[in-house]
Amino acid sequence: MYLMDRDDANSRNHSRFSDLGELDHPTGFPHDDAVDLSRNSIYNMKHDDVSIVSNINLGGLNSSIEIGVGEGVEVDARPLMFQKDAGVVTVASSAPLGNGNFENWAESVIADSQQTDTSTDVENDDKTQFRGAHHGTIVVVDSMDHSKRTGDQKTLRRLAQNREAARKSRLRKKAYVQQLENSRLKLTQLEQELQRARQQGVFVATGYSGDQIHPLGGNEGQFKLLLSSLIHGGPSHFYEAIVRKLPRAFVLCACLQLTEFHCSLISLLMTMFSGALAFDMDYARWLDEHQRLINELRCAVNSNMADNDLRLLVDGVMTHYDEVFRLKSLGAKSDAFHMLSGMWKTPAERCFMWLGGFRSSELLKILGNNLEPLTDHQLMGICNLQQSSQQAEDALSQGMEALQQSLAETLSSTPLGPAGGSGNVADYMGQMATSMGKLATLENFLHQADLLRQQTLQQMHRILTTRQAARALIVINDYLSRLRALSSLWLARPRD
């Protein structure tokens, strides 16, 4: 008869469990899948009671894991079958081996109890019950009558079962160690990836040597860099709390889960945000560099630098402009709507923006007043440039309107409203497919708009002399800076 006396359980809990602990840590720890975990039960070992609670779901990170004494043992409790066998009641589980059966756990415990010689007290009881079946799932009852007769048999059986339990726990330990190794490998791989990404991030930070690195890789690298610093810097206190409170086994468990969670979180965030966030970061950096170059140009113009040297600076700014258009085209490829939304611009800029950027004709109008003296030829050139950029802008705007109209027509081509809801699925899918195609042309419009801006700047550079071009670039920058300053003032304005 296998029984656990309440008092004995108290005093021996710890030693018994520590024995258990040596045999196997969380038994049958299925790490392959976090979902698996939720299907297992936990044996809740409280200080003053051996209670068996079944079917508590671990349920991922959010569930609270009840741990008693300090050793948590996770065992799979599948439907249990009870056999009465000549006064010996064994609990046989229908669960497959290697998954931490109740049987084995119970037997290990009981085997220990045998070894620690407490059974004599227990055996003498007439009718005792296996305590703590709080949730009423497991009750093991002995029958006193047969105990003496089958004493030897019991011992033999117990020994056999001990051996069996030890063997199984060795197997489980092996499997668990294997899982640990795999997860450690994953961790190191992740670390390596982050290291690489960090290096890539450094490349982007030091200069726009974009032709040397794959640009998108650079953006991703930056983003990974940002994330890695967040991960390493951020929840460390959380990890410490876990380590302090939970037993080793659970810490490992939690770490493994978190690693997987982080892996999937990183990949999810990267796919979602890499385009938009990466562009925003790149643009901010570009803007800082641009300001620096313009200030340099300003000093040069004010100090009446020689034309040749000035030309170098002007060419530098023009090349730097090419860089922003390259960044924008990358940004448009990953997230055209983000570029069109202008969320990467300040509010005032955003309000007056056209198709994902500044309006060239507007800038040229501003320039016209600030560039004299211009020769007649130059004046004509600037006027023509302003006119042609205006015409191109209008054409693209009308194209966009046509696109919007076409999209509206497509989306309303199948009946709408309460009656039309039960329409043909094939029609709906076809409608969506056509609309997707139309949306794809949005990217093309954005591209053409950026090309227009770039070409207008280049033509302006061609028409003007070096000194005039320098002044023009400074004027453009100053105007946009004022617009940005206006945004800041507006955002900080006192409201009643």
Q: Which residue has the tokens 């039309």?
A: 420
Which amino acid does the sequence have at 283? Y
Specify the stretch interacting with another protein by CB under 8 A; choose among 13-21, 226-234, 320-328, 385-393: 385-393
Residue 38, token pair as written in the block: 């939720």
Q: How far is the CB of 454 from another protein (least distance, A)?
A: 9
Q: Give the residue, chosen from 22, 66, 288, 394, that forms a contact with another protein under the rule CB under 8 A.
A: 394
Closest among 348, 357, 354, 350 to 487, alpha carbons compared: 348
- Total binding residues toward another protein, as defined by CB under 8 A: 28
> What span, in angstroms and rounded, lies between the C-alpha atoms of 401 and 56?
59
CA distance 40 to 36: 7
- CB closer to another protein out of 65 and 403: 403
Choose among 323, 177, 314, 198: nearest CA to 256: 177
Q: Contact with another protein (CB under 8 A): which of 65, 180, 251, 451?
A: 451
Residue from 392, 446, 472, 476 in contact with another protein (CB under 8 A): 392
Q: Which is nearer to another protein, 161 or 456 (CB)?
A: 456
Q: Min. distance of Cβ 380 from another protein in angstroms? A: 10
- Rank residues 449 and 483 by Cβ distance to another protein and give the closer one: 449
**Which of 103, 105, 114 is closest to 71 using CA atoms?**
105
Quick check: 444 binds another protein (CB under 8 A)?
yes
Q: Which two tokens stand for residue 167?
A: 């063997």
Residue number with CB closer to another protein (388 or 431): 388
| Residue 241 half-sphere exposure toward CB, CA atoms < 13 A | 4
Residues 131, 186, 350, 438: which binds another protein (CB under 8 A)? 438
Q: Please identify, using beta-carbon distances, which residue of 150 and 406 lies nearer to another protein.
A: 406
Under the criterion CB under 8 A, does residue 379 sit at the interface with another protein? no
The binder of another protein chosen from 63, 124, 384, 412 (CB under 8 A) = 384
Annotate 463-473 with b (16+ C-beta within 10 A) or e (fewer). bbebbbbbbbb
Helix axes 466-491, 248-302, angle to 10 degrees: 130
The distance between the two most distant Cα atoms of the chain, rounded to a whole number of Å, is 123
- Count CB atoms within 10 A of the CB of residue 31: 20
440 or 489: CB nearest another protein: 440
Minimum CB distance to another protein smaller for 240 or for 394:
394
According to the binding rule CB under 8 A, does residue 462 interact with another protein? Answer: yes
Q: Report how far residue 459's alpha carbon sits from residue 480's, in angstroms, rounded to the nearest whole number.
A: 20
Interface with another protein includes 333 (CB under 8 A)? no
Range in contact with another protein (rule: CB under 8 A) among 85-93, 263-271, 287-295, 379-387? 379-387
| Binding piece for another protein, criterion CB under 8 A, among 152-160, 176-184, 312-320, 400-408 | 400-408
Helix (H, G, I), strand (E, B) or coil at 424: coil
Are residues 479 and 359 in contact, defined by beta-carbon separation less than 8 angstroms?
no
Window of 100-108, 344-352, 370-378, 447-455 that interacts with another protein by CB under 8 A:
447-455
Rounded Cα distance between 74 and 28, Å, is 7
402 belongs to the binding site for another protein (CB under 8 A): yes
State in angstroms the smallest separation of the CB of 189 from another protein. 37
Report the alpha-carbon distance of residue 44 to residue 51 in Å, rounded: 6
Q: Which is nearer to another protein, 99 or 454 (CB)?
A: 454
**Nearest approach, Cβ of residue 389 and another protein (Å):** 6
Q: CB nearer to another protein: give 212 or 404.
A: 404
Minimum gap (Å) between residue 315 Cβ and another protein: 18
Nearer to another protein, 92 or 383 (CB): 383
413 binds another protein (CB under 8 A): no
Instruction: Choose the stretch contacting another protein; rule: CB under 8 A; options: 117-125, 256-264, 342-350, 398-406.
Output: 398-406
Selected binder of another protein within 389, 466, 468, 477 (CB under 8 A): 389
Q: Which of 61, 159, 177, 395 binds another protein (CB under 8 A)?
A: 395
Residues 33/260, Cβ–Cβ less than 8 Å: no
Looking at this protein, which amino acid is placed at residue 102? Answer: F
Rounded to whole angstroms, the Cα distance separating 452 from 385 reads 11
Measured between alpha carbons, how far is 258 from 237 in angstroms, rounded to an integer? 14
The answer to whether the beta carbons of residues 56 and 66 sit under 8 Å apart is yes
DSSP lists the bridge partners of residue 43 as: 73
Which residues sit opposite 74 in a β-bridge?
42
**Which residues of this chain interact with another protein, rule CB under 8 A?**
381, 384-385, 388-389, 391-392, 394-396, 398-400, 402-403, 406, 438, 441, 444-445, 447-448, 451-452, 455-456, 459, 462
